Amino acid sequence: MIQRGGLSTTFASAFATVVLAGLILWGSLTIDTSSNALITPGVVIHFVFNTLIVLVALGFSIRAHPYSMHLFHLVGLLIFGCVGGLYQYLAGNFPLAGPVMIFKKEIPIASVAVTLWVLAYLGGYVIRTRFGPRLRAARFVRSFEKPVSVASVHFALIVGFFSLIYLASLGLVGAFTRAAADESLALAASGPVYFINNIFVRALPLIAVAGTALAIRRSGSILGIGLLIPMFVFDVVGVLVTNSPFAAARYWFVAVAVGLASPHLLAARKTAIPVLVCLITGLSVLPSIGAARDAQTLAEIIQYYLRIDSPFEYLATSGDVDAFGMMCLAVKWLDINGPTGGLQMLGALLFWVPRTLWPSKPVGTGAMVSDELGFDFTNLSVPIMTEPLVDFGLLGVPVVAFGFGWLLAALDRSYWTPFDPSRSPVGFRRIDVIYPFWVGMLLFVTRGDLLSSFGYTVGITLAMIPFVLVPARIRSRHASEDRAIESDAGDLSPFSGSADFRL
Query: 115-125: per-residue pLDDT in tens?
Result: 999 999 999 99
The SS3 of residue 429 is strand
Residue 497 binned pLDDT confidence (cut-offs 50, 70, 90): very low
Percent of the chain predicted with pLDDT > 90: 48
Ranking 198-207, 376-385, 466-475 by mean pLDDT, the lowest is 466-475
Determine the Cα–Cα distance for residues 422 and 293; give it in Å rounded to an integer: 46
Determine the Cα–Cα distance for residues 185 and 200; give it in Å rounded to an integer: 13
Predicted confidence at residue 172, as pLDDT, reads 64
Alpha helices in 306-425 (DSSP H): 311-317, 323-337, 343-349, 365-372, 386-392, 396-416
Ranking 189-193, 198-202, 443-447 by mean pLDDT, the lowest is 189-193
For the cut 60, the answer to whether the pLDDT of residue 147 exceeds it is: yes
Ranking 137-141, 286-290, 353-357, 429-433 by mean pLDDT, the lowest is 286-290
Predicted confidence at residue 186, as pLDDT, reads 57
Residue type, 81: G
User: How many Cα atoms within 13 Å fall on the side-chain side of residue 175?
Assistant: 28
Mean pLDDT of 344-364: 90
Closest to 279 (Cα-Cα) out of 243, 254, 260: 254
Cα 4–chain centre separation: 23
Closest to 16 (Cα-Cα) out of 191, 275, 244, 195: 275
User: Residue 179: which H helix or E strand, with range?
Assistant: helix 178-188
Q: Which residue has the higher pLDDT, 246 or 387?
A: 387
CA distances from 197 to 184, 187, 204, 474 (A): 11, 12, 10, 34
Closest to 251 (Cα-Cα) out of 438, 61, 62: 438
Q: Which residue has the higher pLDDT, 145 or 219?
A: 145
For the cut 60, the answer to whether the pLDDT of residue 494 exceeds it is: no
Ranking 96-100, 188-192, 368-372, 466-470 by mean pLDDT, the lowest is 188-192
- Angle formed by the axes of helices 150-170 and 178-188, nearest 10°: 90
Predicted confidence at residue 161, as pLDDT, reads 93
Closest to 161 (Cα-Cα) out of 473, 466, 491, 485: 466
> Residues 215-228: pLDDT tens digits?
888 877 776 677 78
Cα 181–chain centre separation: 22
Determine the Cα–Cα distance for residues 358 and 155; give it in Å rounded to an integer: 36
Mean pLDDT of 67-81: 95
Report whether 10 contacts 272 (CB < 8 A): no
Determine the Cα–Cα distance for residues 339 and 258; give it in Å rounded to an integer: 36
Predicted confidence at residue 298, as pLDDT, reads 56
Closest to 463 (Cα-Cα) out of 234, 196, 231, 235: 196
Q: What is the DSSP letter of 35?
A: T
Q: Which residues contact 249 (CB under 8 A, 6 or more apart)?
A: 178, 293
Residue 251 binned pLDDT confidence (cut-offs 50, 70, 90): confident
Closest to 253 (Cα-Cα) out of 334, 181, 155: 181
Q: Chain-wide mean pLDDT for the chain?
A: 83
Mean pLDDT of 315-326: 87
Predicted confidence at residue 227, as pLDDT, reads 74
- N-to-C CA span, the chain: 33
Determine the Cα–Cα distance for residues 172 and 180; give it in Å rounded to an integer: 8
Q: Which residue has the higher pLDDT, 300 or 43?
A: 43
Q: What phi and psi, each to the nearest 5 degrees, are found at residue 270?
A: -85, -25
Residue 188 binned pLDDT confidence (cut-offs 50, 70, 90): low
For the cut 50, the answer to whether the pLDDT of residue 424 exceeds it is: yes
Ranking 28-42, 149-163, 413-427 by mean pLDDT, the lowest is 413-427
Residue 250 binned pLDDT confidence (cut-offs 50, 70, 90): confident
Determine the Cα–Cα distance for residues 493 and 2; give it in Å rounded to an integer: 10
Closest to 274 (Cα-Cα) out of 6, 76, 2, 9: 9
Report whether 63 contacts 430 (CB < 8 A): no
- The partner residues of 471 in beta bridges, in order of sequence, read 148
